[in-house]
Each structure stands twice: as structure tokens, then as C-alpha cells.
Amino acid sequence: MKLGAAQTPTASTPVIPVLEGRELTKSFWVKQGRGLLAGKARVHAVESVSIRLDPGRVTALVGESGAGKTTVGRLLAKIIKPDGGEVLLDGRPAPPGRPRAYAAQVQMVFQDPFASLNPVHRVRHHLVRPLQIHHMASGDLEAAVDELLRRVALKPPAHFAAKFPHELSGGQRQRVAIARGLAVRPRVLIADEPVSMLDVSIRLGVLNLLADLRDRENLAILYVTHDIASARYLADTIMVMYAGQLVEAAPSVSLTDRPAHPYTQLLLAAAPDPDRAERPALAAHGAPPSLLAPPSGCRFHPRCPYVMEICKRQVPPSVAVASDHSAACWLHVDPNERRVNETGLPATTTARDLLDQRN
Amino acid sequence: MTINSTSLAGIPPVAGPTAELVLRPTRVLRLPRSPKVIAGLVILGVFGVLAIIGRWIAPYSPNATDQQNWVRHVLVPGTGAGTGFPASYYPLPLPPSAAHWLGTTVFAQDVSSQLLAATQATMFVGLLAAAIATVLSVLFGVTAGYLGGGTDEGLSLVANVFLAIPGLPLLIVLADYMPSAGSSVLLVAAIIAVTTWAYTSRTLRAQTLSLRNRDFVEAARVSGESRVRIILVEVLPNLIPIVAASFLFTALSAMGAYVAIAFLGLAGSPTSSPPGLWNWGEMLREGFANNAVRGGWWWWWAPPGICIALLGTGLALLNFGIDEFINPRLRAAGLSRRTAKKAGISLRSTLGMTPVAHRRAVAIMPQVTAMRPEPSSVRNAAEPVLTIRGLSVDYGYGDQAVHAVVDCDLVLRRGKVLGLAGESGSGKTTLALAAIRLLRAPAVITGGEVLFHSKPISGEEPAGTIDMLSATEEQLRAIRWSEIAVVLQSSLNALNPVITIGAQFDDLLRGLARAGEVLGMVGMNAERLRSHAHELSGGMRQRAMIAMAIALEPQVMILDEPTTALDVVTQREILEELIGLRDRIGFATLFITHDLSLLVELADEIAVMYAGRLMERAPATSLFHAPRLPYTYGLLHCFPPLHGARLAMEGLKGSPPDLRDLPSGCAFHPRCAWAMPRCHQDVPTLAPLDGSAREVACWLHRGEANVPAELARPDPLPSGSGRSGSIARVGEP
């Protein structure tokens, strides 16, 4: 297995992403108050998130719970409809609704393998149904099921096909769930926290399976996770979300080695890391904001240790801090340009000054 | 939370060659084999057989009558010879005899024949009504629940209207309104069904609502499954237990309703036109109308009465069985009491008191040894405060016992953090909670001793040693929370939702002044005392729980995955606060987690558990940089690093074992890369490793084999410098 084998698509060879989300925006309405006076409040779950999935690459979406990463995954799987923005399949707008043709291209793996398999059906049923729905196996269903189970390393296949979900361990169940996703030979797999419910010792096995599928079958994978270390291990590109917005995107090693956004830095500092010489001092505290009334300007500004006046008022633009490394942070905007935006307030520190202190 | 992957089913390892290719037939509804269920099935079976074959085994037709021979003719007093009145006789029913097993009625009819015919009709009406009602309720309930929105509101409204209609009165009015209706069993069944379906429909709607949002339904939707198939194939099979239970319940109430209206004479009697069917209600009506009770002709009215009672009992018993099937807690409670009795353990344990069985007597330790209180300044920081020796804990009794913890030793020292690492199902929580006897039956402590060397940090309580396993409930209650506090992963859900945080502190501290101070210690604003639990985030709630745990300055703090449900940033903040508190208050900490990488940063000493046994114990830095146990080595390589080159990692092969079916010898040997023949046979025990402070349970280190280089790295220097190194990754040259 090779990790990170796939190269970043460069400008000279433009690759059309298999699946692309442009400026995706989604709000949910929740009830507030009780009884007759109950009103509805709007939760800004995802705000103009653009994301691309390329064949043979794993893109990780990292963030805390409530950051909107699962919502992005579900928008791309077209389980829910975006309020704004569009989903492009092979560069063309995906058809409205969720037709079967779309299901044949984009599949999803859920977080909890204990809930995503129907307890009353055998493994075989879970694998046969997608094949039947999409008329994939014209004839020998058994052979197709065997083949699928072999692809996710469940051997002997006949043994596992006859099992009920409760007879399998967590890792085996998640493999079955992945096999179900692969049944229709999709080109995109959206994996929503596929290992977070699994035992530590079997997580790597599932991650390696995903890496293997990417390499062997040229699958485009979206890996949604809260664990930045596993994202670094598996993904080619990491995108960090905070409070419904993308804050940083970069190839995984450069993002974890040289984080450009203060939130990414916080996330990395907080992650368990036994290699660290001493316990990290967190630069920021507090919790993510309520998405009912997100903070103005940059949503991270109430927690940001480098907060400036402009951060409170204006949404930061996405800035390229290196080639294919972008961060949505005012620190990386040229001070002069920032001053123009800031209407009169002088910028005293530069981004590099601040970030060099940290690294 | 990591889900317990050693689930209750037998799991062969992924690559396991144990191909068990014989398919066992599935039983969707596997009822617990309890006496209740068996009795219910027997009763129902007998009635069922009687209903079917009654027609053929009945000695006579239910309407057959023989005015000459089937009644006793009694002369009416004051008539006959010598009175001037012509002799007049009145009939008296015959008591049971060989010719008439259940006697006869005043109408000179055979009771047993009537009873058999009545059984058939009553059961037929009951089952038919239940079938109609079930079809209606599934149709309405599942459709409403699955489709939701406007459809749901419309269908629910219909169901609610039917629910509001009082069943029996409606039945009486309908039966009375259409006199001929009573004679048609189909109509009677339909009327009963219409008045009973709505209740089940609501239950099914609620269940479908929750099933609809389950991932497997979503997954079916993602794979392009049609709506009808999702309802029929994915959702409905999961509702079968509920449908079955409600079918039985409706059948029971339908039979009751049929008997009731027949007793009132509204179900058409066999003599009316058109004639109704014989049923138990009709038999009772005839009996009561003709003085059967006052006449002492019990054989006329008792059999139908007993039949109603018996069939009702049978159905109810079966319903209990299904209830236990749906609700495993009920089942576990019933089973454990029985098996405990069988194994000779008396379970008089109260809530929150782990029973202790077959325990070796503790040799010398008296219950409370008075010790001279020392000034706190002299207190040795590393003196033991909780000593666990040879603790063994079983779940279940006798042959069914699962050995969750076997022969474990741990020592908690003042001001130190002992990390207990292991995967789910390895017994780490069981070990910790059993030591303070918080587990309830069927957990049983089967051996070992736990000594709590109490030396209160503040307060007047005397110092002393308490034997936790022989302590009385009162002694335990006195030290729990005040001296030994526990914070669980789920603790954040343990706050009372209806009273404020402050009120809960008030309960604990009798005064709010200190509550604010304690909240401040965990980084919370004192204003939060006025909040309710739902107004706080998960991290805040867990902080509030920790604040409550430290409020009484405990000597021991047991933290069981306290931050697993929280985000990394919150986790880090809470851990920082915990370390600060530990330094200030000086409690001993037992920190349980599956996240070994977190533990390495946090703990002074780490113990690794696998399949119920302690397998390695070492200072944290030693364990991290120079693990001696193959399992620890593998576990450390399950966490991808945050730095350096990205290299493929293998982790551990296979999955954690099933405690009910452990491998022979060392439980880890099927997953171990260095397993030797001996590992397949003998269980290694924890033993000190060549004079160092560390202990390991592995045959590789018993001098018989060459220790692999990976497991023989030099111990890091005891000072803090050890932390700066990096473990060598798999695949590194």
C-alpha cells in the first residue's frame, strides 16, 4: 500500500473532479420555545463550502462536532438538498432529486456500523439489494456477493454472507457496510466517521482498506472525521471546517506540519500526541459558537488569540498561503489590503510574525 | 464512545479459518424459554386444538336436546296426586356424568358440546378481530410514521378520533342498532377491530418514527431502494415483536368484548333469527338468566367462566414473554435471579452493592484499623490509597459465568495518575467499578481484596483502612463520593434535568458559596449555578460533574473515559484542569480510557488490560518508548502520528476476543506476531521484569525465547527527557 501516492493535480493537467460541491449552503430550522409560542430558529449548518473530490484521492473533512462536516457529506450524497450552491458530477450539474443513476455513482458509509445494518437481515441481503436495484449482477448474485466480501477482506465469504449483523464484530460490520457501498461500483465513496465507533486496534485495518480501495479502484473518497491524526494518515488533502465554514485546505502533510489558520493550530495542539516533549499550552479556549446566531465576521474570532478589529466585522477571504494551501484568515491578507478593508485602522502585526511565534 | 465489539455473539477473527458453513434456521422472534412463556403456549395450544377438533369430539350437537332423558323432572310442590292439581314437573339440569361430561342445562342440552362449539366461535372472533385490527394499525401506523409530515398528521388524527371513542359502549350501540349484526360473526369481529386498532397504531407509528431515522433505513435510501420496499423489507421486520405483542393483546381484548356483548344478549343467540353462534358469553348469559348460580348448577356456568380466565391468562403470559424479548433488561433480571439461585448465591444485594461470592478470607486485616493521624505535611505523596489485590469479577453465575476480570492487582497512590488502558470489553470499567462495589448483579466479585487506606484530606473523619469487599452498606455509603468519587463517560447525562446546577450543588454541599468556588476550579463561571443541564454544552456538563466530584475533596478519583464523548479541544481543557486539581487536592486518580496516546501524556503509570487480565504495567514513559508486551506494542502502533513521514501502519490484526469463548493460553496469542507454542497452552501471569519497576505477562520475557528487538528497547531515562524521543514506526529502518 502506498500512502499519498496520488499527485496533486497541477494546473498543466486539469483534472475534472468526479464530484464537486460549489458554494454549498444549508440551514436547518429548529423549534424554539414551547407550546403555542414556539417559534422557529435557523441553524446555519453549512455556509458556502466548496469542495472537490478527485479520482484516486482521499479528501478529509476535519472539524469538531457541529462544525457541519457531516452535513457537507450528506449534501454531496444528495440525501439532503442544499439551500444554495450546486453539486456537480463530472463537471455537470447533478440531476435534481436523488435518481438511481446518481446512487450508482456516489455511495455513502455511515458512522455507526451497529445502526447502519438492518439487524433482521443477513449480510447477504445487504449486499444483494444494491446489486438488484442497479441490475449490476445479471445472473450469479452469489458470486458477486463473494467477490464483494473478498474486496473488503472478509474471508471466507460464504461464511460471512450467511451471518446476521449481531454475529459480527464492529470492524467486520464496518467492512460489510463498505462492501455495500462498493456493490454498485461507485466512483465516489463518502465515509462519515467510518472508524470512530470502532475499537482502537481495528481502526487502522478499516483505514488501510479505504486507502487500498483508493489505490486499486481509483475511488474518490471523502473521509469525514474529527481525528486529525487519522486524516493525516489516510487523506491526500485535508479541509478543516469550523462552525459551518471551511477555514483551511491543504495537502495533508503541509496542513498538519504548517497549519496556517489559528483554529487548525488549536486543533493540532489539542490532539493527543505522545511524541510531544511537554504538555501543550492551548492558545485558545472556549467552545464553538451557537450556529443559531453565529458571530459576525470570522466565526472563530471570539476564540482567536490573534483577533484583530477587522476579524469581528468582515468575513475573511480565502487566501493562498502556499501553492494549494489556502486559509480563510485575515492574518494572511496583505496588511495594506487589509487596511483598505478595515477603513482606517492600521495593521500592526503581520501574519508571519504571529504564526512564527506559534511554530 | 467505542462500541463494545466483543459483542455477545461468538465472533471468529477476521482471518479465522473456523468456517461454520452450516446455516442455522433463523427465528425472527426468539422467545425466552421461561416458564411463563411455556405455560402461555401450552394453554393457547390446548384451546387452539379444542377449537379446531371440537366439532368432531363433541358428543352431541350444541343445539341437540332431549327433554326426556337429559333433565331430571321434579314434581312442583302442591301439584300431582292428592292435591287436586294435575301433576306438574319442572326440569333440573343433570350434574356431570359419564354420558354428559359437564352435565346438562335446564334446556336439556349438553354443556360440554356447547362449550366446545363456544370455544371455536370465541377464538375465531377474537383472532379475526385481532387480525383486522393489526392490519389496520400496521397500515395506518407504519405509513404515518414513515411518511411523516401532512400524511402523518392526517392519519394520526384519524387514529386519535378512534382512540377517543369508548369501545364497548360503541359496540353495544352498534350491536343494538343492527339487531341482525350480532348474529354475523364477521360483523362482530369487524366492529371490535374498528374500536381497538387505534392504540396499536400509535405505538407502531412511534416505533416507525424512530426506525425511519436509523442509519440502515438511510443506507437503504442511499442505495436507491424504493419507498415501498424500505417499508416492507427494512422497517416492518423490525416491528414484528411489537406487532405480535399487540396482536395478542387485541385478540385478548376482542374475546373479552365478544363475551361481554354476548352476555348482554347483543351478539345474537343461537335461537334468534338469524341464529348467532354458541360462545362463552352466550352460555354465561343463559346460565345466569336461568338461576344457574342460585340453583348451584356450577357445571353450567363455571366452565365458560374458567375458559375465559384461562385463555386470558395464557395470552397475557405469552405477552409477558414477548415483552421480555423486546426489553432485554426484564429478561436479564429474570434469568439472573434464577441462575443465581441455582448457583447457590443469595442475591439480597441492594442497588449499588456488588455481591461478593466465594471470596478467600482476608487473612489479617481487621475491618477498620485505627491509625495515628499524621499531619498533612508529612503525608507521603506516593503512599498507596487504594490497593486492589487479585480481584476477580464474573458476570453471571455458575456455568454461565463470564470472567470479566481475572486476578488483577492495582495500587493507586496519592497524587498519582494511574492509567488503565484497554479496548472495549477488556474489563477495565468492570475492574474499577467492582473495586468500589458499584456494579450490580449479575456482576459478582469472586475473589481478591480491595483495601482503602483512608486518610481524609480535610475533615474530622479518622484515618483507617477499610476492607471494601466486606464493608457494610453504611460504611460504603459514608466513603462514596466524599472519599472516592467517580466520573463516567455518561456522567454528563447524569445531571438532573429539572433542577438547576446550583440546586444540585446545594444538595451536596449545603450552601452555594463554595459551589461557586468549586465551579471556578474547573473553569466554569459561578453564574452557571443558575443554569439547567440542557442549557450547558457537553463539555460544560462534564465539567460540572467533575466539580461535584471534587467538591468534597475525595482521596480517590475514578475517571472512566471522562472525555471520550467530547471534542479534542474541550478534552484537552478538561484534562488540564484535572491535572491542576490533582496537584492542588492531591487525590489519587484512576484514569480509564481506550486512547493510549492520551494516557501517555497524562499518566504516571499505565496498566494495560486485555480480555480481563492485566498484561503490562509500567511507568508511562517506559511503556510508551519501550513496550515489553506485544499487545502494547501493537496498540501503540494503532495511533497514526501527527509528525514525520507518512508511512503505512499495520496496527493489530484480528479483533478483540469474545470473553465467553477465550482462546486457550494467552488470550492474545491469535493476534500476536511472536506467539510461541507455549502461548497456546499456558496463561502468562503478571510478573516483575528483571528487577525493574515494570511488570509484564508474556512468555517472551520468561527467558525461554529470544526477545524480539521491538520489545527489548532500552528503558528511557527516568527523568522527563524521555518524552522527547519518538517511537519507531513500523516500517522504519
C-alpha cell at B544: 460540572
Position B366 scores a pLDDT of 40
The domain locations on chain B are 57-61+108-326, 615-641+648-724
Residue B61's alpha-carbon distances to A6, B52, B54, B55, in angstroms, are 88, 15, 11, 8
Nearest-angstrom CA–CA distance, A274 and B202: 53
Residue A27's alpha-carbon distances to A44, A47, B110, B260, B645, in angstroms, are 5, 8, 75, 56, 39
The domain locations on chain A are 16-91+190-255, 106-185, 258-272+294-358
Q: Which fold has domain A16-91+190-255?
A: Rossmann fold (3.40.50)
Nearest-angstrom CA–CA distance, B493 and B491: 5
- Identify which of A259-268, B395-404, B538-547, B565-574 has the greatest average pLDDT: A259-268
Please determine, for residue B483, whether its predicted confidence score (pLDDT) is greater than 70.
yes
pLDDT digits over A259-305, tens only? 999 999 999 998 888 777 677 777 777 778 888 888 888 999 998 99
Asked which of B177-191, B259-273, B602-616 is least confident by mean pLDDT, the reply is B177-191
Position B462 scores a pLDDT of 64
* Contact check, Cβ <8 Å, B3/A197: yes
Please determine, for residue B13, whether its predicted confidence score (pLDDT) is greater than 50.
no
Got the DSSP string for B106-158? TTS-BHHHHHHHHHHHHHHHHHHHHHHHHHHHHHHHHHHHHH-HHHHHHHHHH
Q: What is the mean pLDDT of residues A317-321?
A: 90
C-alpha cell at B457: 484530606
CATH homologous superfamily, domain B57-61+108-326: MetI-like (1.10.3720.10)
Distance from CA of A333 to the nearest CA of B (A): 27
Report the chain A residue with the minimal C-alpha distance to residue B621.
A274
Q: Show the CA angle centred on residue B675, arms to residues B669 and B677, nearest 5°.
A: 100
List CB contacts (< 8 A) between A211 and chain B. 648
* Contact check, Cβ <8 Å, B642/A232: yes
Nearest-angstrom CA–CA distance, B284 and B280: 6
* Contact check, Cβ <8 Å, A3/B656: no
pLDDT digits over B349-397, tens only? 555 677 777 554 444 344 444 443 443 433 445 788 999 999 999 887 7
* Contact check, Cβ <8 Å, A77/B237: no
- ipTM for this prediction: 0.82
Alpha helices in B609-720 (DSSP H): 620-625, 630-636, 677-681
Q: What is the mean pLDDT of residues B468-490?
A: 84
pLDDT digits over B416-452, tens only? 999 999 888 888 889 998 888 888 777 888 888 899 9
Report the chain B residue with the minimal C-alpha distance to residue A64.
B567
* Mean pLDDT of all residues belonging to chain B: 80
List CB contacts (< 8 A) between A273 and chain B. 597, 601, 641-643
Asked which of A15-24, A32-41, A113-122, B344-353 is least confident by mean pLDDT, the reply is B344-353
Instruction: Write the residue in B215, B423, B595 that is nearest to A112 by C-beta.
Output: B215
Residue A246's alpha-carbon distances to A38, A69, A256, A310, B19, in angstroms, are 32, 9, 16, 19, 48
**B20: pLDDT confidence band, cut at 50, 70 and 90?**
very low
HSE-CB of B423 using CA atoms within 13 angstroms: 30
Q: What is the mean pLDDT of residues A55-78?
A: 91
C-alpha cell at B104: 346438562
Distance from CA of B194 to the nearest CA of A (A): 31
* Contact check, Cβ <8 Å, A200/B595: yes
List CB contacts (< 8 A) between A285 and chain B. 523, 573
Report the chain A residue with the minimal C-alpha distance to residue B636.
A201
* Contact check, Cβ <8 Å, A279/B576: yes
Position B458 scores a pLDDT of 62
pLDDT higher for B331 or B276?
A: B276
Q: What is the mean pLDDT of residues B39-60?
A: 89
> Which of A76, A200, A206 should one mutate to test binding to chain B, selecting the residue with the greatest count of B CBs within 10 A?
A200
Rounded to 10 deg, the angle between the B298-326 and B280-289 helix axes is 150
Position A353 scores a pLDDT of 54
At B201, phi and psi to the nearest 5? -60, -40
The verdict on whether omega for the bond into residue B641 sits within 30 degrees of 0, i.e. cis, is no
The label of the residue with cell 433482521 reads A120
**B47: pLDDT confidence band, cut at 50, 70 and 90?**
very high
Coil vs helix vs strand at B389:
strand
* Contact check, Cβ <8 Å, A274/B634: no
Residues 6+ apart with CB under 8 A from B149: none
List CB contacts (< 8 A) between B223 and chain A. 103, 107, 129-130, 133, 180, 183-184
Beta pairing partners, A247: none
pLDDT digits over B286-332, tens only? 888 888 888 888 898 899 999 999 999 999 888 888 777 766 555 55
Instruction: Write the residue in B215, B523, B655 that is nearest to A116 by C-beta.
Output: B215
List CB contacts (< 8 A) between A275 and chain B. 641-643, 725-727
Instruction: Write the residue in B234, B634, B641 that is nearest to A229 by C-beta.
Output: B641
Instruction: Write the residue in B224, B651, B724 that is nearest to A103 by C-beta.
Output: B224
- Identify which of A229-233, B180-184, B248-252 has the greatest average pLDDT: A229-233
Distance from CA of A193 to the nearest CA of B (A): 12
Nearest-angstrom CA–CA distance, B726 and B704: 30
Q: What is the mean pLDDT of residues B279-288?
A: 89
Q: What is the mean pLDDT of residues A205-233?
A: 92
Cβ A267 vs Cβ A62: under 8 Å: yes
Residue A50, Cβ neighbours under 10 Å: how many?
14
Position A7 scores a pLDDT of 43
The verdict on whether omega for the bond into residue B274 sits within 30 degrees of 0, i.e. cis, is yes
